[in-house]
């Protein structure tokens, strides 16, 4: 994570930076590491071809480093989405004894003329988590809310 943050700093600054300025920026971002540790990480980034040393001035990010940063951002986005799912699961309060509480729902925009028959078929085939459905209309668009399968995961987590 520290090396990705160093790449972000070099990429956003667009200039040649030394260990001191990188260390200061890392500290501002909550990574409290000194210049010596930054130099260590920079050496590793050099070896991977993500940065290059420019004399005694410092280092700059290479195209390979920019490409790696893009891949890293994808992983950050996946982690963000996963944490959102975890948060939603944490907020489920479904009580199995009385079937009351909050659940996670899927919201789909549907064609009103066909959707009721489709959802009935889904229920008949046993493909739905719950037979509870909420139909909504906003402007000219029809929506359907159904219980999300992730609700089951949340119930398992809360009930062991």
Can you give 128-160 as a three-state secondary structure string?
A: CCCCCEEEEEECCEEEEEEECCHHHHHHHHHHC
Determine the average pLDDT of the residues in 9-28: 92
Higher per-residue confidence, 159 vs 1: 159
Q: Measuring CA to CA, which residue among 120, 110, 116 is closest to residue 143?
A: 110
User: Does pLDDT of 23 surpass 80?
Assistant: yes
List, for residues 39-57, the tens digit of each pLDDT value: 999 999 999 999 999 998 9
The 105-110 sheet, strands edge to edge: 105-110, 141-147, 133-138
CB atoms closer than 10 angstroms to residue 142 = 17
The average confidence (pLDDT) of the chain is 88
CB crowding 55-87: b at 16 or more within 10 Å, else e: eeebbbbbeebeebbeebeeeeeeeeeeeeeee
CA dihedral angle for residue 96, residue 98, residue 99, residue 100, rounded to 10 degrees: -110
Answer whether CATH 3.40.50.2000 is correct for domain 2-85: no
d(CA 5, CA 25): 10
Determine the average pLDDT of the residues in 56-67: 93
Q: How confident is residue 157, by pLDDT bands cut at 50, 70 and 90? A: confident
């Amino acid at each position: 994570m520290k090396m990705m943050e160093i790449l972000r700093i070099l990429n956003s600054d667009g200039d040649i930076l030394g260990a001191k300025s990188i260390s200061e920026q890392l500290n501002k971002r909550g990574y409290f590491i000194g210049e010596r540790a930054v130099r260590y990480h920079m050496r590793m980034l050099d070896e991977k071809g993500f940065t290059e040393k420019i004399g005694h001035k410092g280092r700059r990010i290479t195209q390979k480093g920019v490409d790696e940063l893009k891949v890293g951002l994808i992983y950050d986005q996946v982690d963000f989405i996963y944490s959102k799912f975890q948060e939603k699961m944490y907020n489920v309060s479904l009580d199995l004894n009385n079937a009351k509480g909050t659940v996670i729902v899927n919201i789909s925009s549907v064609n009103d003329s066909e959707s009721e028959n489709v959802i009935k078929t889904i229920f008949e085939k046993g493909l739905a988590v719950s037979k509870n459905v909420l139909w909504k209309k906003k402007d000219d668009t029809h929506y359907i809310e159904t219980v999300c399968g992730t609700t089951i995961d949340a119930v398992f987590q809360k009930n062991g």
